[in-house]
Structures are given as structure tokens and as C-alpha cells.
A and B are shown apart, each in its own frame.
Chain A
Amino acid sequence: MTITTTIAHLLPALLAQAQTSILPQGADYMRILPELVLSIFGMLIMVVDPLLDEDSSHNTLGTIALIGTLAGLASTFWMAQYPGTAFWNMVRVEGFSIFFHYLVVAIAAVAILSSFEYLRVQRIRAGEYYGLILFGTVGMCLMSSAIELVLIFIALEISSISTYVLAGLRRREASSSESSLKYFLLGSFATAFFLYGVALMFGATGSTNIDAISGVLRSGNVPVLAYVATALMFVGLGFKVASAPFHVWTPDVYEGAPAPVVGLMSTGPKAAAFAVLLRVMFEANAPGRFWLIWVSAALSMTLGNVGALVQDNVKRLLAYSSIAHAGYLLVAFAAQPELGTSAAMFYTAAYAAMNIGAFAVVSHFANAGEKYVTLEDYAGLGRRSPMLAATFTFFLMSLIGIPITGGFFAKFYVLSAALKSNLVGLTIILVLNSALGAYYYLRIIVMMYMREPRGEVPVTRVPAAVALAIAVCVLATLYLGVVPGPVLDYSAQSAHQLLSDTAAPRVATASTAAGP
């Protein structure tokens, strides 16, 4: 079954759902407002780029992109005033999608902030870089609000293709081209799996709408094809979130790609892919998911942590750490739906804050040509640049899961969701793994504080934009670590809303229901 025939089957169904009104209404546009705003700013960058000479373009385009993301955040607020579905039941605005919109756009904003200096130092052209970040963000946003598998696929491609290109932007480095090509080839392969899964799911349930699928799958009569479809979709999404055994691309790609892009790509698309995974697994009530996730979570945690133990390159080390964290997150997917969803939502937010912060430090420190990315280079940083070292230590502590950091509560909620669902085996694996994980993060801290500095590594002043990016991440991590209540309550609420609604698949009232 090819994509065209899928769509050909789909169209009449879609049109039938939209009987009440053929044309989209104002509220429909409001429900994709952030996507629209980000696209407009992305295009604006493309238009402005040729008018500027290369040297002066960095700051101007960066500022436009930053304003774009801020406008994106503001428009998410507006979008939140119009809950409901739009465009013939393809997009739904609800607590869940609002949460991920805020998260993804904020991630993009921080990534842009930490790129100002980096692009200048590495001499990367700013136009395509910022444009691609914004377009990628559009894809990620859409992934979180789409409730139609084909639209999810399209959104996934928008975000993936942007990141494929971004990974290769250090044109002078062979490793960057390798990274881009590897990511592209393997990534296309994985999305093909996802698409195949979508096709089979359509075959099994007769629909590509998550609500409709959920209705069929909950009715008790689950066709065998649905199991295969779940597995195939999991392969595709497992690749995107870098969970084992679909993780092998991660270290190479992260090593070669520009550091701020790695910061973005290890948090933004990952968060969006987790959002899709949550929808597919929990909202659509995918059959046979438990063992699939169980095995993948256990493997990711173990392989990620063991792999990280022996790394000497900080970017590779953080790549393996991100595999391990994907594993911790997947533990939540094996828990009871509501507990698991809210724990996973909190985890993606906390992980985003600490990881993108860590990469902001790494990208500042790497210097021209990303020369200084090995553990040895970090020796004595505590003495030479106390603030940079202190913030990096803070992010690493959060990654370890020490209290008063967001990383602690993230792990904590996942653990308690797992224990409440009686997942003793996974809990034990998680506990042992986090102990193992402490070691390699600690190696970086030890390097920074307990070794003598090496003279030849330059320590440059932290420019204001990077400082702001780091400060935002520190504050976010600290906030999630000291008062996690509001975010957790919000995610619990939206998880409840997400899952209670699906018990009874709703009718297409979307287009008729206007906003307040």
C-alpha cells in the first residue's frame, strides 16, 4: 500500500467528517497559530538573508529568529484560548499539545540564543541555520498537536529534514557531513518503518485518526495486524528518540553535528517524538506495547550508560547519556497510562532544560572548529572559569539526579509511576543504571575541579546571549527541582484529559465549536 492510495482512501473519510463546514474557520487557524507564526518568521529570514552581507547577518538574523520564537511562545498562549480540534479533526489543541508547544518553542529559543556566538566563531552561514531551526520547530509543534497519523508523519518529516541539514552545517568538517548523511539515511529508513506502521494500522482499524483507532482498539476486537503496526511505528519513533536497539546512529551524529544543534536535536525533536509516542501508545491504546517498551527501556538504559563509561569526547558522552535518558523515559511508558503520561511529560521538560543547558556550555567552550571537546580539555575549568564550571556542574548534577534539580524529580516521578504500576524489574534496572550513570558525569566534574588546568586551552569570555541561554536553563532546572508542583499538576491534568477523552471517541464537533 503506497502513500497515495492511503491518502486516496482517506480523503472521503476526511471530507465526511467535515460535513458541518467545508471551509476552515477562524478558530481553526488560531489552533495552529504558533506554527503559522514560526513559518512566517522562517520565511522572513529567508527573504532578509540575501540582502545582508555575511558578517553582519549573524546578529540580525539571530535576532529575527529569537523574536520569532518569542512570538511563537506568545501565540501558543493565544492558541491555548481555543481548545478543540481543527481542520477536520487533524489537529487538536488541549493541555497535552499546549504543553509540548511551549516546551519545543522554548527549546528552540534557547538553542538560538546559544548559537549567536557559535555561528560567528565557526563561520557558519546564519540564514539557512536559523531558518531551518524555525521550520524544524514548526514540524515539532505540529507533531505534538496532530491527531491524524498521516499529518503526524508529515510533521515528523518537516522536523527531521530540517535536522538532517542542520547536522551537516559545519561544512568544512568531514565528520559533520558524515553525521548528516548517516542521520539522513538511517532516519529515512526509520520513518519508512513508521509509515509502514501507519499503513498497517489503517488496514487493521480502517482509520488513521487516533481517536477512531482508539475506539476500534478499545472495543476489544484487536486484529493481529494492529500488533505488527504498533511494532513498526515503535521502530520509527524509537529511532527518533534514540532508544536502543535503534540508537546506534546517536554517538556519531552527535559528535559531528554542530554543538548547539545537538543541544536542540537531543531535546526538541526528541520531546516531540515522545509526544507522538505518548499519543500512539496511550491515547490510541496500541496493543502489545508493554514488552516492546519494557525491552527497549531496559536496553537503552543499560547500553547508554555502559557506552558512556568509556567516552573521552564530551559530545559522545552526552550522546550516550541521552540514550540512557531515553531509556529512563521509556520506563514511564510501561507504567499505567495516566501516571506514565504525566511522568513522561515532566521528564521531557526537565531533560530539555538540563541537556540544552549542558550543550550551551559545550558549544561555548568548544571554540573555533570545535577543537576542545574532549574530557582532557575540561581540566581545571573550575579554576579558570568558575561560573561556567559551576553551571555545567549543576546541569551534570541534574543529569545524575541529585536533589534540588529538575533531573531528580524527573527520575523520581518515573520511578514512582513505575512502582505504582508494580514494575519492580524495570525499577531495579533503573536504579542500578542511575548509580552507574553517576560515574561518567562525575568524571567531567572531577576533571573541572580536581585536575590542574592545561595552559593551551583558551577560556574566552561568555557573551551575553550564551550567558542568557545558560541562565534560562539553570533557572528552569532549579525551578523544576524546587517547585515541581505546578508543572507536574499541569501534566497530570492534561494526561487525565488526554486519556479520559479517548475512552469515548468524540464526534467531529471541532469546526463548529468556536473559541471563547
Chain B
Amino acid sequence: MESLSPFILSLVTFIPAGGGLLILLIPRRDRDIKLFAFVISILAFVASLHLPVHLHREAGLFKYEIDRVWIASPNIHYHMGIDGISVWLVVLTTFLTPLCVLISWTSIHERVKEFFILLLILETALIGVFTSLDLFLFYFFWEATLIPMALLIGMYGHGRRVYAAVKYFLFTMIGSMFMLAAILWLYAKTGSFDFVVIQNAIRSGSVPGFETASLWLFLGFFIAFAVKVPLFPLHTWLPDAHVEAPTAGSVLLAGVLLKMGTYGLLRFDVGLFPDQARRNAPWIMVLALIGIIYGALVSLVQPNMKKLIAYSSVSHLGFVVLGIFSFTAAGLNGAVFVMLAHGVATGGLFMLAGILYERRHTYEIAEFGGLATPMPKYATFFLVTVLASVGLPLLNGFIGEFLVLSGAFQARPIYGILAATGVIWSACYLLWMYQRVFFGKVTHEVNNALPDLNLREKVALSPIAVAALVMGVAPLVWLSAIDPAVQRYALAPFTQLASKMVGQ
């Protein structure tokens, strides 16, 4: 398998888009298209499993690196590589995409071909974001996620889809322009887009004018990522986008796209500007806390199931940001783990909401009640996913949030205490929603006739339940790769800096 190693990343990245282009050639027979898209996405998943299996965990360095010149002038490289942080995000993406294909099987009935092409291109762009080590390549994939997602929302969404799509597009676009300017500044001063080269140049202090510019550079990157996360108060596009998006769009949006923001914060903001990140950590943590509590409180009063889950994402992603900027080993490990757990659990919740929508064409919680009677299997899957999201021990949500909270306590106890209320709130809004939807008597006559899950839906949901359980029971499988990377990556520069400061 060693001979595969330099190409495996490119393979994983481009299998979906290649498949998407092949779909163009298939005649417009919807069934073939769906099957083909499913096979491609499974293929990408299997290929991506190679990555964590053969990852050398101890060192926490970049693996499977490929570094070729793409454009000689300016010095743009096709430089890819992953470490313990990004490897799981790649797998998360390839894991969720086949499920998205399954869940869209019957809910998408017109312009089927375009839908699956867009979905697969989106997958490639998402994987590319996590594998790029060249700032230019990264920006390229980052922007490339924008169009397919906006089209998915705008073409296949619900009522106010156009508004949601445009809002999503503009928020992200405006944010990323600032990042582009910061990237170009770095290029102008270092003559390279290569992440590792720039990082070394900054560390060795050989970038002219860096001292005065570093705050602005940090903020340039930060705005782009904060919009994506989304961090309070830049979150307003998220509920709209989620509510209007088709189910598969919501799953990838919550499951992976938001992680682009937190991943970016960790990789680029913290990786390139360690001392600015630490200097600005206090107010960023406050924003994260506001996000946690505000998101939870807004969730509590949502009458719309999808909007509730959307706001819960604001709350959960607040944990990730809190963990990253706590700059403790526990906090950082927890942050990465929450990203994965949230991707699985919230992805699952959106799939479940979509299944219900397909049957009743509404997300209003008040339209349901007592669903446990007609749909027992559905209720079971829903319960597992809700509990995973709430953070019940032995399910995946618990591990990450626990680590983040302990990290936040170490950083500043009051932050830990405030963030811990977020966990309580999330139990409130999710369980209360569960109660209103599933327990009691069937309140609406139509709901009695709702069919339970069919085989396809069970196949789509089982991996979510299994992953939630396995990640909860054996988190070390994941953390053993995350920890060395985080230690080397985000903490090491600080200890060096700190010792330098003390030394002076």
C-alpha cells in the first residue's frame, strides 16, 4: 500500500468530482444516476478509510504529502497533506455523503441529474478544504464549496430558498474576500503560498512588517472563518440556509461546512498567528460563550424543528471555538472531537427531520405529537441521535463537550461554568422537542397513518447510530490521532513562545 501513499489523497479528493462528471454522460434515467452517485460516494468512503488506518499517529506531522508545482509564477503548489486533525474531517465528509445520497433518493424528483452532480462536486471541494496545505489551493477549494451549496439551497430548497441561498452566498463571499487579502499579503511578503513555509517564516521572524500587520492578518482570516462557524453575531445566515435547504444540503451544511470554519480557525488562525490568537482569545471566547447560550435559548423557543436544530448548531459550534481558544490540551482535543461528534449527531438529526418532512411536508413541531405509536423504529433512531447530541455519556457528544469544558475550566473557571449551562440547555430543548413530537397521544389524525422507516431509510440511519455509539465508547481511536497533532500543532508554538518570553 505504500506505493499508493502520495496519490491516495488526490484520489480521495477527486473521486467524487470525477464521478460527478461521469454522471453528465449517463442518460437521464433517475434510478441509474442515483445508483451511480451512491456507488461513487461509497468508493470515496472506502478509499478515505485508508487514511486513518495507515496514519502514523505518534509524530503528529503531515502525512501522505504531495507537493507539485501547479503554477510556477506566482509560486502556487499543489500541496496536500493531512494530520490527525484533518484526517477525521475527511472521513466525516466521505461518511456523510453516501448517507446524503440515500436520504435524497425519493425526496429529490426533479433535476435529479444536476442534484447529484452538485452534491458530488461539493464533496470534492469539502475534502479539498481539509487536505490542502497550500494557502492558495485552500482558498480555491474554500470558494469552490460556495457555488454548489448555494445552488443546492436555491434550486432544491423550500419556500424562501432564493433569499436563503443569496444570503448564504454573500455572507461567505464577503468574509472570504478578507481572507484572500490576508493570504495575498503573506504571499507578497514571503513569496510563497505554502502553509509550512509561511509558518516557518513567521516563526523565525523573517517576514518584514509582520509585527504591525499580524493583527489585521489574524482578523482577515478570522472573519472568513467566523462567518462559516458561525460565531455570534455573524450567525444570521445559518437558520435561513438550514430551514430552506434540502435535507442532504442541511446534512452537509451542518455536518461538514460549518467545520470548515472551525478547522480554519485551528489550522490557519492558530497555526499561523499563534501569539495574536492568544492575545485575542479572551474576546473570542466571550463570543463563543454568547453563541453557546444564545443559540441554546433561541433553540428553546423554536416552533420549527429544523430551525431548532440549526440554532443548536450555533450552540454546539460555540463549544468548538471555546475549546480551541482555551489553549489547553483538553480543550483542543475536545474541540476537534466535538466537530466530529456534532457532524454525526446533527447530520443525523437533519436526516431524521427530512424523513418526517417527506411524509408530512412540514417541520412545525406542533403538527406532530405521539409519533412513537405509528413510527416506533423512527422514534428509536431519533432518541439515540438526540441523546448523542445532548451529550449522554457513552454516546459521542459527551466526550467532546466534557473535554472542552475541562479545558475551559483550566483557562478560566467562569467560562467553564457558563459553558456548562449550555449542556443543560441543550438537554432542555432537545428532549422537550422529543417529548412534544413523540410522546403522548397522537394529536393529529393524519399522523396515525404515517409509515415507519423503510429499508433504505434504516440503512441510511444505522451508520449514524453505530458511529455515535462507537465514538462514545472508544473515543481513543479518534483521540489517539488527534492528540499528537494538536499537541505539536497548536500547543507547541505557545510553549516555545512562552519559554522565549520567560527567557527574556
Contact = CB atoms under 8 A, between A and B. Distances in A.
A506 interface: no
Given A450-B155, A483-B71, A489-B72, A428 B140 contact: no
Contact of A415 (B143, B173, B181): B181
Interface string A426-439: 01100110110011
B139 to A, nearest CB: 7
B281 interface: no
A182 interface: no
B170 A415 contact: no
Contacts of A431: 177-178, 180-181
B154 interface: yes
Contact of A484 (B71, B151, B181, B185): B71
Contacts of A292: none
B169 A442 contact: yes
B453 interface: no
Given A431-B178, A442-B169, A419 B184 contact: yes
A435 B177 contact: yes
Given A404-B144, A435-B173, A419 B155 contact: no
A450 B169 CA distance: 14
Interface in B158-181: 161-162, 165-166, 169-170, 173-174, 177-178, 180-181
A447 to B, nearest CB: 9
A488 B169 contact: no
A298 B343 CA distance: 43
A105 interface: no
Nearest to B125: A403
Given A484-B71, A488-B73, A489-B73, A416 B184 contact: yes
B424 interface: no
Contact of A403 (B143, B169, B181, B184): B143
B166 A446 contact: yes
A403 B140 contact: yes
B143 A485 contact: no
B184 A415 contact: yes
B168 to A, nearest CB: 11
B188 A419 contact: yes
A484 B75 CA distance: 12
A419 B154 CA distance: 36
A396 to B, nearest CB: 11
B73 A449 contact: no
B170 A446 contact: no
B138 to A, nearest CB: 11
Contacts of A488: 71, 73
B161 A438 contact: no
A488 B144 CA distance: 23
A434 B170 CA distance: 11
A451 interface: yes
Contact of B169 (A419, A420, A428, A438): A438
A428 B174 CA distance: 12
A428 B165 contact: no
B74 A442 contact: no
A489 B72 CA distance: 9
A485 to B, nearest CB: 5
B142 to A, nearest CB: 9
Nearest to A483: B71
A28 B148 CA distance: 54
A397 interface: yes
A402 B143 contact: yes
B439 interface: no
Interface in B115-158: 139-140, 143-144, 146-147, 151, 154-155
B187 interface: yes
Contacts of B140: 403-404
Contacts of A404: 140, 144
Interface residues of B, number: 31
A190 interface: no
A415 B180 contact: yes
B147 A485 contact: no
Interface in A438-496: 438-439, 442, 446, 449-451, 483-485, 488-489, 492
Nearest to B110: A383
A427 B185 CA distance: 10
Contacts of A400: 173
Contacts of A102: none
A171 to B, nearest CB: 40
Given A404-B144, A416-B184, A451 B177 contact: no
B185 A419 contact: yes
B149 to A, nearest CB: 13
Given A485-B73, A488-B73, A449 B151 contact: yes
B240 to A, nearest CB: 14
A484 B161 CA distance: 36
Contacts of A416: 74, 184, 187-188
A400 B166 CA distance: 14
A485 B187 contact: no
B320 to A, nearest CB: 26
A442 B173 CA distance: 11
A397 B147 contact: yes
Contacts of B180: 412, 415, 431
Given A402-B147, A415-B181, A419-B185, A450 B165 contact: yes
A483 B161 CA distance: 35
Nearest to A416: B184
Given A415-B180, A431-B180, A449 B154 contact: yes
B72 A485 contact: yes
A344 to B, nearest CB: 16
B179 to A, nearest CB: 10
A430 to B, nearest CB: 9
B140 to A, nearest CB: 4
Interface string B176-206: 0110110011011000000000000000000
B144 A438 contact: no
Contacts of B181: 415, 419, 427-428, 431
A431 B114 CA distance: 32
Contact of B162 (A408, A412, A427, A446): A446
A450 B154 CA distance: 6
Interface string A383-418: 100100000000001001011100010001101100
A412 B143 contact: no
B254 to A, nearest CB: 22
A403 B139 contact: yes
Contacts of A403: 139-140, 143-144
A489 B147 CA distance: 30
Nearest to B220: A431
Nearest to A403: B140
B71 A446 contact: no
Q: Name which of A386, A408, A412, A432 has the most chain B CB atoms within 10 A of its CB.
A: A412
A435 B174 contact: yes
Contact of A451 (B146, B162, B188): B162
Contacts of B185: 419
A165 to B, nearest CB: 40
Nearest to B153: A450
A435 B181 CA distance: 12
A435 B180 CA distance: 11
A446 B147 contact: no
Nearest to A411: B180
Nearest to B142: A403
Sort A-B residue pairs by CB-CB distance and give the 9 closest, nearest first: A435-B174, A403-B140, A419-B188, A450-B154, A420-B188, A450-B162, A485-B71, A431-B177, A438-B173
10 contacts: A431-B180, A434-B177, A435-B177, A438-B169, A438-B170, A438-B173, A450-B154, A450-B165, A484-B71, A485-B73
Interface of A: 382-383, 386, 397, 400, 402-404, 408, 412-413, 415-416, 419-420, 427-428, 431-432, 434-435, 438-439, 442, 446, 449-451, 483-485, 488-489, 492
Given A416-B187, A451-B162, 14 more contacts: A402-B146, A403-B144, A408-B143, A412-B180, A416-B184, A419-B188, A420-B188, A431-B181, A435-B173, A439-B166, A446-B154, A484-B71, A485-B73, A492-B73
